[in-house]
A and B are shown apart, each in its own frame.
Chain A
Amino acid sequence: MKEFGYRRAHDVTGAVALLAADPEARFLGGGTNLVDLMKSGVERPALLVDVRELPLDRIETTADGGLRIGATVTNSDLAAHPEVRRHYPALAQAVLAGASGQLRNMATVGGNLLQRTRCGYFTDVSKPCNKRSPGSGCPAVAGEHHNHAVLGASGHCVAVHPSDMGVALTAFDAVVSYESADGPGRSPITDFYLPVGDTPHRETALPPGALITHVSLPAAPVAAHSRYRKVRERASYAFAIGSVAAALDIEDGVVREARLALGAVASRPWRARAAEAVLTGAPADGATFAAAADAELAAARPLPDNGYKVTLMRNLVVSVLTELAGSDAR
C-alpha cells in the first residue's frame, strides 16, 4: 500500500493549516471508515492529520437550551450523555443502532457525518464509480442496487448515505460548524449534503480542507418525544436498509408538531418535510400517518430491485409514528 505521513494536530488552526498545505492530506478521526477505505485503495492520502487530540470533545448546553457537540466526541459518549438521552432520545438510539461497541468507542461525530457510502461499487476500485472516479459510470443503476436510493438520486449515482446518527440530527435541525482556511462557517445539516445531480463526487458544502468543529442542536421540546427505528438484514452490525427518526408532539389527539427523517433511502439523511406538513395539525391516527408516508414517498423513484424500500419505508413510518402516538402520555 501507499506510504503516508502522520501528524497529530493540537489546535484547530494548526490542523486546518496542515490540510491547506497538502491537497492529499486527510483528517483522521476514529479512522473507522477512512482506514478501511485506505486498505481497499479508495483513499490514498499522503498525510493523515489526527484530530482526536483537539479540544473538541465536549458536549455543552447552550444558552437557548440546545446542545453543542464537539466534533471529536465519540459515538459512545454521545449516546451515553444524559442530556442527549433526555432531550433527544432518537439521537442516542440512532447512534446505538450503528456499528459495534468497539467501533462506537473510536468513531467521532465529525467523522460520522463525513463517512462515505458503503455502495459495493464505490468500495471496489476494480469497478467504475462516478463518486470515486468522476465520469467512469454508475454500474449500480443496471447492476446490484438492492440497498440503493429511492429518493433524490440521479442516473449518475444511486448510493445511499450510511449514517444513522445523521438521520436523527437531520430530524432535529442540527447545524454543522466548521473551520476553514478562510475562517469559520456554519451550515444547517439539511443543506450540508449536496444534491447528487451530475456531481456525486461532491458530497458536502464543506469548503476544501475545512474541519468540522461542532454540531449544534437547537432546543426542540418535541425531540424529547422521539424515536429511531432501523431495519437491517441482520440484528446488529449492519447498515440500514431503511430507518426512521421521528418526533411527535400531540395534544388532544392532534399533532401539534412533527419531525421526520428517513435513512438509507437517499444520498443524504432525508428530511421528510412533505410528511411533516401532512402530520401537522392532523389527527394523530393511522390514516394520517399513512397519508404522511405516502406524501413523502410519492417522490420515490425505485429501481427494478429496490422497490421494496418504498413499501418498507411506508410501513416503518406508520409503525414508528403509531408507537410514538401510543406512548404519548398526554
Chain B
Amino acid sequence: MTTTTPGPPAVRGAVGVAHTRVEGRDKVTGAARYAGEIPFADLAHGWLVLSTVTRGRILDVETAPVLEMPGVLTVLHHGNAPRLNTDYIGLLGTPPDPTCAVFQNDRVPFAGWPVALVVAETPEDAREAAEALVVTYDQEPHDTALVDDHPDAYPAAGHMPAETEKGDLEDRLAASAFVVDARYTTPEEQHSMMEPHAATARWDGGRLEVVDSNQGTSWVQSELAAMFSLDASSVRVRSEHIGGGFGSKGLRAHQVSAVMAATALQRPVRVVLTRRQTFSLGGYRSPTTQRIRLGAAPDGRLLALEHLSLNQTSTVYEFVEPSAGVARVMYDAEAHRTANHVVRLDVPSPTWMRAPGEAPGSFAIEAALDELATRAGVDPIELRLRNEPDVGPVSGLPFSSRNLAACFREGARRFGWAGRDPRPGTRRDGRWLLGTGTAAASFGAGAAPSTALVTAEADGSFTVRIAAADIGTGARTALTLIAADALGTAPGHVRVRIGDSDFGPAMIAGGSMGTRSWAWAVTAAAAELRERLAVTTSIPPEGITVRSDTTEALGTLAQKERHSYGAQFAEVAVDIATGEVRVRRMLGIFAAGRIVNPLTARNQLVGGMTWGISMALHEEAVRDRNSGGHYAPDLAGYHVATHADVPDIEVDWVDDHDPDDPVGIKGVGEIGIVGAAAAVANAVWHATGARHRNLPIRPDRVLAATVSDSAGAGGGAADA
C-alpha cells in the first residue's frame, strides 16, 4: 500500500498512558550493547590523527616509522586513500560535508581536521602509533573570529529562504512609540552526547556492513553507498542503541575511515572518536551574533520587527544556523524583515544541534520582547498575547493549530505569575537577588516519508520493523504503543525492531520529526494488515507482512503552518557580589500535539529545558585565538549543567488537536530548549536590573554588569 491515509487510530489505552522504556532493563543492566563495544572476530582498531594547524597544506606524513611500531597494520592518508564520490545530494537535501570524506587532498581547512587513520591490532597500539605519527605542514594565516559585520558574510538559505522582507522598516520604526535595538550573541555549543561516535565496518559476503551509533540507519546507508559508489542494496547499516545524538550523529569521519580501512585490510575495523575529537569532527552549534530591532505602538503591538543573524561555517561546507527564522512563525509586524547570514572561517563545520535556529534565535527575540515589555510597561505575557498572529507572518498560511495563548494562561496560573512586581532588583533572599522571567517557544511539526513492515506472526503476536532510531528519546517504546493501538492489541504483543537499514528507507531521528514520521508509516501498515487479517482464516508460519510507504500520503497534506508551542517560566537567584546565578525552579507548558507516552515525553521536555539552563548559564566552547584550535575541548573544560544546577522542573501540556492531521503527533524532542535560555536571562534581569545579551551568563559577566550598572535596579538598561 502506498496511498491510503489512515484514519485516526482507535483509542485503546496504550497511547497516552505512561509506559517505561521497553529496553530500559537492558540499558540499566548493561545488556544493551553500544556500537563501540559489540564484539567482532579479527577486529582491528583505527585511530584518527587530526591536524594540529588551523590552515595550510600537508607536506608530509611520515608513515614509515609508525608502520614499524607494534601491532600497526596500516596508515591511511591523502597519499594512499581511495578517491570518494562527494558529488551528490543526500537524503536530507544537502551535499556531504567534506570533513567526512576523509583523506581526499592535502588541504587543512581547520584545526582538528582528519589527516590520517592509523590501524592496529589493539586500540592502545593504534593510539600510541597515531600519537607518534609525524605530520608536517605548510602553515597559513587563519581567521577564526566571528565578528559583527564580518566583511565576508553573505545571505545563505540552508533549509529556508535566507531573507524575508515586507513593509518599510525604517518608516515603521520611526512611527513606533517604543523601540528596542539590541545585539545578542550565543557561543559555540557542543552536542556533548554521552556516547561519542563509534563505528565498525566489515565486508560480509560481498556486502558492506557498518555497526554504528547514528540517528538514521537508512540515511547513513545512503550516504556511504553514494560516497563509495556502491549499490545501496550492498550496504547495511545497523544502530540499535544510541547514547544520545542531538543532531551530531549523521555521516561522520569515523564511519568513512572505518569503511576505507576495512576495505583495505579486508577485516573488520572499528573507529571510535575521543571526546576531544568530537569537538572538531562531530559538528557543533555555530556561535551567532544577532541584531534585533523592534518597534511598537503605545499598546505594545509590533509595528516593526527586524531579526538579523550571522553564524560561522567552515571554508569547505556551508551550514546555516537559521536563528532569524523564529520570527517568521512567531510574530507579525507591519514591517517585518528577517535574514540569516553566514561567514566562512577557518573553523570546523557546524551542524544541526537540538532546535537549530530556534534555540539561539528564540534567546534573542524573546529577550528583546522582554526589553520591549519593560519599555512599554506591558506585562511580558500580555505583550505576547497582544501580538498573536492570525496567519503565518511571512507565509500567510493558516496555522494547523496554535495554542500558545493556552500555554501562557495555564503556565501563568501554575507558576504564580499574577501579581508579579515588574520592577527589577527588588526581591532578596539573603545574599541572593530573586527574579522571574518568561518566554515563548515554537518548533516546526513536520513529517517525512518512511516505510515500515508490520508482520502478524503465527503465534498471534506482531513484529514491527522500521529503520527508526531511538537516540534516547523513547522512540522504540512510543512506536510499540502506537503499533499496539493501531493493531488493536496490547503493547506486550508487539515487538518493535529498529535501527537497521535493511528495514527500508525511513526518516531520521531529527527535526522532532522521527516519531511522527515513523508512527505514520507504522499505523498505515497496521491498518492494512488488519484489513488483511479480517479476511484471513489462518496465518502461515512465516506470518503475514504488510509494507507501507507514506511518500504519497504525505504529499496530500494541506500546506499550513504546523508547529508546537510552549511557554517557559524560570525563577533565578543571583548573587551580584560573586556573579553566581542559580535557577530555582522552571515550568514549561507545551502544546505539542498528541502525547504518545507521557513518561518519555516529559523526559524529553525536561531534558530540553535542562539544555536551556545549560545554554543560559554554562555552555561555551572556547577557541584559542592564537592557535585557532579549541581550548580545553573536553567535559572538564566544556561545562554542561550538573544535577546541582537543575532545580525542580515542572512540565505539562495542554490539549493540542490538529483536525486534519491523521497522526496528531507533533514531536517533543526540541521544543523544550526553545525559549528556555531567554526565560532564564529575562529572570536574571528581573532579579538584578542588568540585561545579559551575551550567553552564557557567566559570573564575570554578572560582575561586569553590576559594576557598569552602579545605579542599581532603576532603569534596567545595563548591558552585559
Q: Residues of A at under 8 Å CB distance from B? A: 1-3, 41, 118, 120-121, 123-124, 126-127, 139, 142-144, 146, 231, 233-238, 241-242, 308, 311-312, 315-316, 318-319
Residues of chain B with a CB closer than 8 A to A315's CB: 577-578, 703
| 25 contacting pairs across A/B (C-beta < 8 A) | A1-B128, A3-B124, A120-B622, A127-B627, A139-B624, A139-B627, A142-B626, A143-B624, A144-B632, A146-B700, A231-B578, A233-B639, A233-B699, A234-B639, A235-B642, A238-B639, A238-B642, A308-B579, A308-B703, A308-B704, A311-B707, A312-B699, A316-B577, A316-B578, A319-B431
Tell me the nearest residue of chain B to A144, going by C-beta.
Answer: B631
Tell me the nearest residue of chain B to A128, going by C-beta.
Answer: B627
Residues of chain A with a CB closer than 8 A to B699's CB: 231, 233, 241, 308, 312
Residues of chain A with a CB closer than 8 A to B388's CB: none
Query: How many angstroms between the C-alpha atoms of A120 and B431 in the bound complex?
Result: 32
Residues of chain B with a CB closer than 8 A to A242's CB: 578
* Interface bits B607-631 vs A (CB < 8 Å: 1, else 0): 0000000000110001011110101
Q: Are the C-beta atoms of B700 and A308 separated by less than 8 Å?
A: yes
> B698 within 8 Å of A by Cβ?
yes
Tell me the nearest residue of chain B to A39, going by C-beta.
Answer: B274
Residues of chain A with a CB closer than 8 A to B645's CB: 234-236
Residues of chain A with a CB closer than 8 A to B636's CB: 118
Query: How many angstroms between the C-alpha atoms of A194 and B306 in the bound complex?
Result: 57
Residues of chain A with a CB closer than 8 A to B52's CB: 126
Q: Are the C-beta atoms of A233 and B618 separated by less than 8 Å?
A: yes
Query: How many angstroms between the C-alpha atoms of A123 and B644 in the bound complex?
Result: 26
Residues of chain B with a CB closer than 8 A to A126's CB: 52, 629
Query: How many angstroms between the C-alpha atoms of A238 and B627 in the bound complex?
Result: 25
Known: A120-B632, A139-B627, A143-B631. A233 touches B577 (CB 8 A): no
With A121-B631, A144-B632 given, name 8 new contacts (CB 8 A): A1-B128, A120-B632, A124-B631, A233-B618, A234-B617, A236-B644, A238-B639, A308-B579
Q: Residues of B at under 8 Å CB distance from A? A: 52, 124, 127-128, 131, 431, 577-580, 582, 617-618, 622, 624-627, 629, 631-634, 636-637, 639, 641-645, 698-700, 703-704, 707
In the A-B complex, list the 5 residue pairs whose CB atoms are closest, starting with the nearest. Answer: A120-B632, A235-B644, A308-B700, A236-B644, A315-B577
Query: How many angstroms between the C-alpha atoms of A293 and B333 in the bound complex?
Result: 53
Tell me the nearest residue of chain B to A242, going by C-beta.
Answer: B578
Q: Are the C-beta atoms of B626 and A143 separated by less than 8 Å?
A: yes
Tell me the nearest residue of chain A to B70, going by C-beta.
Answer: A3
Query: How many angstroms between the C-alpha atoms of A308 and B577 in the bound complex?
Result: 11
Query: How many angstroms between the C-alpha atoms of A123 and B580 in the bound complex?
Result: 27
Q: Are the C-beta atoms of A120 and B637 separated by less than 8 Å?
A: yes
Tell me the nearest residue of chain B to A126, going by C-beta.
Answer: B52
Query: How many angstroms between the C-alpha atoms of A164 and B636 in the bound complex?
Result: 16
> What's the least CB distance linking B563 to chain A, in Å?
32
Query: How many angstroms between the C-alpha atoms of A143 and B629 in the bound complex?
Result: 11
Query: How many angstroms between the C-alpha atoms of A41 and B276 in the bound complex?
Result: 13
> What's the least CB distance linking B456 to chain A, in Å?
49
Query: How many angstroms between the C-alpha atoms of A238 and B638 in the bound complex?
Result: 10
| B127, B578, B636, B639, most chain A CB atoms within 10 A | B578
Q: Are the C-beta atoms of A233 and B698 separated by less than 8 Å?
A: yes
Q: Are the C-beta atoms of A237 and B642 separated by less than 8 Å?
A: yes
> What's the least CB distance linking B618 to chain A, in Å?
5
Residues of chain B with a CB closer than 8 A to A237's CB: 642, 644
Query: How many angstroms between the C-alpha atoms of A241 and B633 in the bound complex?
Result: 18
Known: A312-B579, A312-B703. A144 touches B622 (CB 8 A): yes
Query: How many angstroms between the C-alpha atoms of A118 and B431 in the bound complex?
Result: 30
**B interface, by DSSP: helix, strand, loop or mixed?**
loop
Tell me the nearest residue of chain A to B645, going by C-beta.
Answer: A235
Query: How many angstroms between the C-alpha atoms of A242 and B575 in the bound complex?
Result: 14
Q: Are the C-beta atoms of B131 and A41 separated by less than 8 Å?
A: yes
Tell me the nearest residue of chain A to B132, going by C-beta.
Answer: A2
| A1, A124, A242, most chain B CB atoms within 10 A | A124
> What's the least CB distance linking A249 to chain B, in Å?
23
Residues of chain A with a CB closer than 8 A to B707's CB: 311
Query: How many angstroms between the C-alpha atoms of A238 and B629 in the bound complex?
Result: 23
Residues of chain A with a CB closer than 8 A to B622's CB: 120, 144, 146
Known: A235-B645, A316-B577. A144 touches B124 (CB 8 A): no
Residues of chain A with a CB closer than 8 A to B624's CB: 127, 139, 143-144
Tell me the nearest residue of chain B to A308, going by C-beta.
Answer: B700
Query: How many angstroms between the C-alpha atoms of A242 and B578 in the bound complex?
Result: 9
Q: Are the C-beta atoms of A2 and B128 separated by less than 8 Å?
A: yes
Q: Are the C-beta atoms of B577 and A319 separated by less than 8 Å?
A: yes
> What's the least CB distance linking A149 to chain B, in Å?
15
> What's the least CB distance linking B48 to chain A, in Å?
14
Query: How many angstroms between the C-alpha atoms of A319 and B637 in the bound complex?
Result: 28
Query: How many angstroms between the C-alpha atoms of A233 and B644 in the bound complex?
Result: 12
Residues of chain B with a CB closer than 8 A to A241's CB: 699-700
> What's the least CB distance linking B433 to chain A, in Å?
14
Known: A1-B128, A235-B644, A236-B643. A143 touches B625 (CB 8 A): yes
Q: Are the C-beta atoms of A319 and B631 separated by less than 8 Å?
A: no
Q: Are the C-beta atoms of A234 and B626 separated by less than 8 Å?
A: no
Query: How many angstroms between the C-alpha atoms of A146 and B642 in the bound complex?
Result: 21
Query: How many angstroms between the C-alpha atoms of A308 and B579 in the bound complex?
Result: 10
Residues of chain B with a CB closer than 8 A to A120's CB: 622, 631-632, 637
> What's the least CB distance linking A271 to chain B, in Å?
21
Tell me the nearest residue of chain A to B576, going by C-beta.
Answer: A315
Known: A3-B124, A142-B626. A312 touches B642 (CB 8 A): no
Tell me the nearest residue of chain B to A237, going by C-beta.
Answer: B642
Residues of chain A with a CB closer than 8 A to B582's CB: 235
Residues of chain A with a CB closer than 8 A to B625's CB: 143-144
**Interchain CB contact (< 8 A) of B641 among A146, A231, A234:** A234
Tell me the nearest residue of chain B to A241, going by C-beta.
Answer: B699
> What's the least CB distance linking A130 to chain B, in Å?
15
Query: How many angstroms between the C-alpha atoms of A142 and B641 in the bound complex?
Result: 29
Query: How many angstroms between the C-alpha atoms of A231 and B698 in the bound complex?
Result: 11
> What's the least CB distance linking A19 to chain B, in Å?
24
Residues of chain A with a CB closer than 8 A to B124's CB: 1, 3
Query: How many angstroms between the C-alpha atoms of A127 and B625 in the bound complex?
Result: 13
Q: Are the C-beta atoms of B131 and A123 separated by less than 8 Å?
A: no
Residues of chain B with a CB closer than 8 A to A235's CB: 582, 642, 644-645
Residues of chain B with a CB closer than 8 A to A236's CB: 642-645
Q: Are the C-beta atoms of A312 and B631 separated by less than 8 Å?
A: no
> What's the least CB distance linking B465 to chain A, in Å?
40
> What's the least CB distance linking B708 to chain A, in Å?
12
Query: How many angstroms between the C-alpha atoms of A144 and B636 in the bound complex?
Result: 15
Query: How many angstroms between the C-alpha atoms of A237 and B640 in the bound complex?
Result: 10
Residues of chain B with a CB closer than 8 A to A2's CB: 128
Query: How many angstroms between the C-alpha atoms of A241 and B134 in the bound complex?
Result: 37
> What's the least CB distance linking A2 to chain B, in Å?
6
Tell me the nearest residue of chain A to B131, going by C-beta.
Answer: A41
| A143, A233, A308, most chain B CB atoms within 10 A | A233
Q: Are the C-beta atoms of B700 and A231 separated by less than 8 Å?
A: no
> What's the least CB distance linking A229 to chain B, in Å?
8
> What's the least CB distance linking A62 to chain B, in Å?
36
Query: How many angstroms between the C-alpha atoms of A312 and B52 in the bound complex?
Result: 35
Query: How many angstroms between the C-alpha atoms of A121 and B642 in the bound complex?
Result: 24
> What's the least CB distance linking A310 to chain B, in Å?
10
Tell me the nearest residue of chain A to B127, going by C-beta.
Answer: A1
> What's the least CB distance linking B85 to chain A, in Å?
32
Query: How many angstroms between the C-alpha atoms of A139 and B623 in the bound complex?
Result: 13
Known: A231-B699, A312-B699. A123 touches B632 (CB 8 A): yes
Q: Are the C-beta atoms of B618 and A234 separated by less than 8 Å?
A: yes
> What's the least CB distance linking B278 to chain A, in Å?
15
Query: How many angstroms between the C-alpha atoms of A118 and B128 in the bound complex?
Result: 23
Q: Are the C-beta atoms of B644 and A234 separated by less than 8 Å?
A: yes
Tell me the nearest residue of chain A to B620, going by C-beta.
Answer: A233
> What's the least CB distance linking A85 to chain B, in Å?
21
Residues of chain A with a CB closer than 8 A to B577's CB: 315-316, 318-319
> What's the least CB distance linking A284 to chain B, in Å?
18
> What's the least CB distance linking B71 to chain A, in Å?
11
Query: How many angstroms between the C-alpha atoms of A162 and B173 in the bound complex?
Result: 52
Tell me the nearest residue of chain A to B635, going by C-beta.
Answer: A237
> What's the least CB distance linking A243 to chain B, in Å?
10
